[in-house]
Structure 1
Amino acid sequence: MRKLFFFLFLFILHSSLKAQDPLQHNFAWYKKAINSGSLFVHFDKNVYAGNEQIYFTAYILKAKDLNQHQVLSVALVRDADSTVIKQEKFVAGNGLSFGQFAVPDSIIPGNYHLNAFTNVLLNNQPELFFSQPVTIKSALDPNFKVNMQFLSKENGFNNVLVSVLSAKNTFLPKPASVIYTYNNKINKAQTSPSGQLILKIPETINQTDPNLYAKVKYLKDSTFIHMPLPQPKGNASVKFYPEGGDLIAGHKNKVGWEVKDLHKRPLSTKAILYQNNIPIDTIETSDYGIGHFFIVPDISSSYQLKLLHSDVKDSLYKLPVPLKKGLNVIIRNALPNDTLKFVANSTHSQKIIIRVHNFKDVFAYFPYQVNKGSTSFSIPLDEVPKGIKAITITDSLERPLAERLFFAHYNKEKEDIHIATDKPSYNTREKITLDLDLAETTLPSFASIACVQENRVETKNKLDIETYAYLQNELENLPVSLNGTGYKNANYAEQFLLVKGWRKYNWDKLTHIKATDTLVKTSNMILNGRATRNNKPLIKPVTLGTMGAATLSIITTQNNGNFSLNNDQLVMASGKKLYLFVNGKDNTNYDLIIDDEMLNEGIHTSKNWKNQDGMLPSALINNSELLLKANEKIIQLKEVVIKTNKDNTFYGGGPNACGDYVCRYNILNCRNHIGDPANRAPEQGKSYMLDGRTTLYTGCSVPDKKTFLEIKGIQEAKEFYVNDYKDPMEPAFFSTLYWNHGIFLKPQEKQQISFYAGDISGRFKVIVQGINAKGVIYKEYTFTVNNKK
């Protein structure tokens, strides 16, 4: 009790003791030197189809200078070849950015990522970066079917059958081409007249990625499929993490251990622990490949572990050699709410220094003379902010003896926000009323809200703001929580805090940092350009103008024709086009060359960024797996109708040069009828329905490309249109029923939101994510939509 009181007293005085910390300058310099920026983007869902809208809200959680982040770039990147399919830029400010853009209608279904970053570079790297895995499915039946099947293994080869048939399961008139990749080697082949191709893939030992990837192309259409091939047995990756850092002889030690297979995927397994070749314990790992056990090691003994798993070689894995002299720590609960309790085991009496910190700020610092044996500590966390922190114990010379991560003020039972609907289930096209209110203890919050079809939120792609802000961003590359709860799963957090350790920070770097290390090169990505005439550099400046921007801009080039556009000159309405032109009567024979640094960075990032979560894509052995269900699609006229009727005058000619069209229900740019052959071009001066209102169509004016150069503008946010679907003939197959990119919530002030169910039945999910002055908020709620009888 005296010892506990002593430490309570020390902690109360820790603010004054912290000022005496000899490493206070090191912490201050380290805080300036490291990039601790954090960006999270809430996308409305993580499964999309061609022509669907992607809605998002971006939250800048941490940044060195918030005011510098004025533009957000979002790029849709195909996983198969890291190709940027589409990239857009959006206005950012006050730590937020909102927007929407359409998935291209011609996109190949498969696995993709949405990569987001802002305009600020630190040491030539984006200060803020976020990546969301997404799946793209097709709303149209594929023109051909592809299936991949493993046949056999013989003479050191894997035999794989690729079958290609028509949509009606008949032979195709011509062979399909197949480009397949395995072990980073690319090969090309063609199917036989029967639509079959047998691939003979050499068996490779210690293959990092076991997947065989294939791109199948027939005429103008193509698709991707992939599947893992059987692998020869090999050694698993087994790592041991003694709590605190070292095994200490003669004392109780808690040892975390992590097992991954040849492909860096977590391996759930059992194992036998041996002491001098004698079994002493049976241990196991979880579905994440993580486990722990206790041991009191003998300095004269050797300890080994043997896995009990049929897919790996029969091998022994040695534990670290225990130290004869040293100190360790054991924490019973790494997710404390108010008080951190731990035991320090020391082999001898020594002076130690205890710090509670996050490598940027020190929250507790005090020296202590520890005796030989076990000493219990209790440290109140009243002045420690919520989140991952470290307790580091050093000797009197600041050499680390033990370190352990914990999560301060973790409370999985706390509810920040309450969600309720007026009923648990609805009929199609029925009005839905949603109530939102914050808990009394929650600070006023800014949040984004999505109501989407539940099967459009896949667990394998799921990222939530709580898990990302508190765990993923700090520990880096954590696998997705298997049950989808992430941060709220205490067991999930405990496991990774034991074995992951800090990824961004290092005690040795902190103790050796210098003031000069804090010098960080900061730059902003901008849009540069050059004007030439008759393919020659200019010798005197010219003036340029923009068309389509929110404000009219006049730009004067330098004498040599070089110029730059600031962000304000590039802002435009959502979905519009922006053009740059040479101003004046004599504006012929000029060429404008654009160098958009953000677009360049999007391509560079997609090629160099790799997903490091250790979870390889699931098998996709049939392209029909990426097809939306029948009750999620609009019934379309058969493609043959379009092909046989060469004269489209009956349909009004389809979309005009601006991409505008009117559907059969007189709706301008109707998102229900994208690609419908009954669409017609709008006529100037006529009125059509748009977002529930009658709108006069002012016409289509496409600038001459010889004079006007289209450039990528910075889009402003557009409000989500809530449709009441009063026209019974108009189909309403929308997987996103409601989206709000920003709503302000106050504690105990109920907010009521209304929207309507569409024609898709099943379970729907409401997802609320947001921020406040102390942290983040996240909540989900589900309800059902039934078919109206």
Structure 2
Amino acid sequence: MKYWPLSILFLIGEHAFCQLDDIPARMAVYASRNNADQLFVHTDKHIYTNNEYIWFSGWLLHCGNDSMPLHRLLSLALVPADTRTPGIQQKFFMRNGYSYGSMQLPDSIAPGVYKLIAYTNVMGPDSLPLALFTQDLSIRSIRKPDIVAAATILEDTTGKKDLLLTVRNKENYQPIAGAELWVWCGNSKTIKGITDKKGTYRLNLSLVDPGSTAFPIINTKVKYQGDITYLQNKWPSNTADRQLDARFFPEGGYLVTNTICRIGWESKSSAGEPATMRAIVFEDQQPIDTITTNEQGLGKFDLPVHTGVSYSIKPIAWPAELQLKKEGYLLPTVLSKGVTISIPKAITNDSLFCKISASGYSQVNIVVHNYRTVFKQQALALKQGVVRALLLLDDVPKGLTAITLLDTNNRPLAERIFFAHYNSKTICTVTPNQQAYEKRQKVTVSFQLSKNGQPVEGFASVASAQANRYNLSKQQDIESFTYLQSSLQHVPDYTNGEGYKNEDHLEKVLLVRGWRRYTWQEVLTDKQHPLPFIQQLSVEK
């Protein structure tokens, strides 16, 4: 089997289609309209208590020399996860793309789940920050009150939902009458109440309607003789609302007849939570394969695509609390005319193998780019319907890169994302001065940065805290953020927050997030639009 190096083929097809010369200019305009300034914030831990400090370091990534001086102010806001109202806000100066500091949590802050939202003073034409970062945090209370409170959601046969609150003495478990209560959900109004002689209070949940809040939480504050405690309950959903969703992502974008297509697929609940599933693939009414998704709700399978048939799946194992959709689960419609691109290994280093198959097309335009810069482009003949190629990546930087196939009018036919120079990594070796420490004892560490065995210069942000103050599900490391989250929308979660380091997980992610047809349409039209005016917020002195 022969592979043609695309870097050589480009010389052959250099003058085949003059309209290809227009694409780099359009890509440059698109990049200028979609600012690439990125902000990353490192916090010292994920779990805090009242009166503690949130220590942080903030860094601007991929920031151009022309826009770097504009970012002079970093704003931090701590917002309850179920509302849009900041609980705490503070501003810090930023210099040369770097800021650091601390923000103290008040003693009165309510325990719960929060989002730390960070943004700079540079705003876009839509009045939204160009550089924005969010981090999930938890706040817990260190004070143990002398009361015990509980909340139970009740539902009758008519669908009416009530919240039943009980308050009791911690020592003798006797009911407490006269405890003050405050109940709210999202941005709803706050309902005040008092427990009766049985230590109970019942509230109709229709009075605290969360409105359009995505994942509403019912919050309850209980106060009795100086003791304060907080409760949180998920908003009850109807059983019929909790459905099993499945989405299918053919490699390249479409199912094309007479090809063997690799399909990435994703299974979730209707609320967006990953769901493990096992299912049977049907060609019309004939079972042909059994497929599964992992604990992140991701999977992949190969499908021989034929003409005149439809494909679907039938789940045979899934979370018991989820209902199946009545309409079933259909794969995308098979196209009789189209182009596919197959990449056996999308996590690569200095070269990339790919296979391009076509039905109804004799030639395509191939563009290798990252939506900021065009690295290679060429008109490619498909005389036999299939071309196998070896793409040399000498001119491609490390990170996510796309191969987009266009027709002769530069309309997108297929696209696939790959990760170039994956093993070209900078290694940070951290060495503490000892293995165990006493409370409030000074921690001294030394660290060394190296690449390919040679020392390199760089910056580091180091934090030390108890292991139980970290939550791996909330972890965001700077590599995963830079190469994945900032470039792909809605990246599937990984258990320890370091999906970038798991090649198999990353292969699946690129397969289900590898087709950005509408982004390419923006590239083709952006040349006609003026550049945006960048507004700046004033820096308070």
For residues 294 and 186 of structure 1, the distance between their equivalents in structure 2, rounded to whole angstroms, comes to 53
C-alpha distance 193-26 of structure 1, shift in aligned 2 (>3 A): same
Give how far 1:59 is off.
Answer: 0.3
Q: How does 1:418-429 map to 2 (within 5 A)?
A: 418-426=429-437
Pairing partner for 2:462 from 420, 428, 449: 449
Q: Distance in 1 between matches of 2:331 and 2:46?
A: 41
Task: Check 1:389–1:350 CA distance in 2 against 1; reply closer, same or farther (3 A cut).
Answer: same
2:409 paired with 1:397: yes
The counterpart of 1:416, out of the listed 418, 427, 431, is: 427
* Distance across 1 between alignment mates of 2:522 and 2:396: 23
1:289 and 2:297 are equivalent in the alignment: yes
2:491 pairs with 448, 468, 478, which one?
A: 478
Match of 1:214 in 2: 219
Q: Determine the structure 2 residue equivalent to 1:29.
A: 29
Distance 2:526 2:487 in 1: 21
Q: Secondary structure at the match of 1:470?
A: helix
CA distance in 2, matches of 1:108, 1:172: 22
Which residue of structure 2 lines up, in the alignment, with residue 191 of structure 1? 195
Alignment of 1:318-467 (within 5 A): 318-348=330-360, 350-411=362-423, 414=425, 416-426=427-437, 432-439=443-450, 440-441=453-454, 443-467=456-480
1:510 CA drift (Å): 0.8
- Partner SS, residue 87 of structure 2: strand
Q: Verify the 8 A CA contact 1:164 1:176 in the aligned structure 2.
A: no
Is residue 43 of structure 2 the alignment partner of residue 43 of structure 1?
A: yes
Structure 1 residue 260, shift from structure 2 partner:
2.0
Separation (CA, whole Å) in 1 of partners of 2:443 and 2:55: 20
TM-score normalised to the size of structure 2?
Answer: 0.88
Question: Does the CA-based 8 Å contact 2:112-2:138 persist in structure 1?
Answer: yes
- Which residue type is aligned with residue 387 of structure 1? G
- CA displacement, residues 123-163 of structure 1 (integer Å, 9 cap, x when unaligned): 12111111111111112223533223456764434565432
Return the offset for 1:11. Answer: 6.1
Q: In the alignment, what sits opposite 1:683?
A: none
- Is the 2:177–2:199 Cα contact (8 Å) retained in structure 1? no
Other structure's SS at 2:83 match: coil
What's the offset of the Cα at 1:182? 8.9
On the 8 A contact 2:149/2:222 being kept in 1, the answer is: no
One-letter amino acid matched to 2:42: H
CA–CA separation in structure 2 for the residues paired with 1:504 and 1:61: 26
Alpha carbons of structure 1 residues 350 and 504: separation in structure 2 relative to 1, 3 Å: closer
SS in 2 for 1:29: helix
Superposed displacement of residue 208, structure 1: 8.3
Q: May I ask how many residue pairs the two structures share in their alignment?
A: 523
Seen in structure 2, the aligned counterparts of structure 1 residues 167 and 84 have a Cα distance that, compared at 3 Å, is farther
Cα offset, 1:475, TM superposition: 0.8
Deviation sequence 1:417-472 (CA, Å, 0-9, x none): 11223443355576654331122345310111111111111123221111111111
Q: 1:379 to 1:152 in 2, by over 3 A?
A: same
Output aligned runs, 1:150-189, within 5 Å.
154-157=157-160, 161-168=164-171, 169-181=173-185, 189=193
* CA distance in 1 between partners of 2:283 and 2:106 (Å): 61
Q: Which runs of 5+ in 2 are unaligned?
A: none
Judged with a 3 Å threshold, the aligned counterparts in structure 2 of structure 1 residues 281 and 415 are, in CA distance, closer, same or farther, namely: same
Paired residue type of 2:309: S
Residue aligned with 2:69, SS? helix
Residue in 1 aligned with 2:240? 233
Offset, 1:200: 5.9
Quote the Cα distance in structure 2 between the aligned partners of 1:524 and 1:55: 26
Q: Could you say which residue in structure 1 is the equivalent of 2:128?
A: 125
Contact 1:356 1:365 in 2 (8 A): yes
Q: Is the 8 A contact 1:462 1:480 kept in 2?
A: no
Go from structure 1 to structure 2 and tell me whether the alpha carbon gap of 1:340 and 1:153 turns closer, same or farther (over 3 Å shift): farther
Aligned ranges for residues 621-770 of structure 1 at < 5 Å?
Answer: none
For 1:126 and 1:504, the matched residues in 2 are separated by 25
Equivalent position SS for 2:473: helix
SS at match of 2:363: strand
Identity over aligned pairs, percent: 32
Report the CA distance between 1:497 and its aligned residue: 1.3
Bigger-Rg structure (1/2): 1
Residue in structure 1 matched with residue 95 of structure 2 by the alignment? 93
After TM superposition, give the deviation of residue 183 of structure 1 in Å: 12
1:499: which partner in 2? 512
- Secondary structure of the residue aligned to 1:493 is helix
Matched, 1:105 2:107: yes
Note if 1:520 corresponds to 2:524.
no
8 Å Cα contact 1:112-1:136 kept in structure 2? yes
Whole-angstrom CA distance in 2 between matches of 1:51 and 1:109: 12
Q: CA 1:201 to 1:91, structure 2 compared with 1: closer, same or farther past 3 Å? A: closer
Contact 1:348 1:371 in 2 (8 A): no
Alignment of 1:487 with 2:500, yes or no, is yes
Cα distance, 1:240 vs. partner?
A: 1.6
1:156/1:450 Cα in 2 relative to 1: closer, same or farther (>3 Å)? same
Task: Quote the residue 1:718 is aligned against.
Answer: none
Q: Supply the RMSD in Å over aligned alpha carbons.
A: 3.1
How big is the shift at 1:490? 1.8
* Pair 1:77 & 2:76 matched: no
CA distance in 1, matches of 2:190, 2:285: 47
* Structure 1 residues 402 and 523: alpha-carbon distance in aligned structure 2, compared to 1, 3 A threshold: same
Call closer, same or farther: CA 1:359–1:210 in 2, change over 3 Å. closer
CA–CA distance in 2 between the matches of 1:296 and 1:479? 27
Q: Structure 1: how far apart are the matches of 2:455 and 2:323?
A: 49
Determine the structure 2 residue equivalent to 1:588.
Answer: none
Q: Report what 1:312 is aligned to.
A: 323
Distance in 2 (alpha carbons) for counterparts of 1:263 and 1:488: 27
- Other-structure match for 2:272: 264
**d(CA) in 2 for partners of 1:350, 1:275:** 29
Q: Quick one: distance in 2 between partners of 1:424 and 1:13?
A: 61
CA contact (8 A) 2:473 2:496 kept: no
Counterpart contact for 2:475–2:498, Cα < 8 Å: no
SS of residue in 1 equivalent to 2:94: strand
Contact kept, 8 Å, 1:46 with 1:133, in 2: the verdict is yes
Q: Secondary structure at the match of 2:21?
A: coil
- Pairing 1:577-592 to 2, within 5 Å after superposition: none
The two structures have a TM-score, normalised by structure 1, of 0.61
SS at match of 1:494: helix
Question: Matched residues in 1 for 2:32 and 2:443: separation?
Answer: 49
Q: Distance in 2 between matches of 1:60 and 1:504?
A: 29
Contact 1:18 1:362 survives alignment (8 Å): no
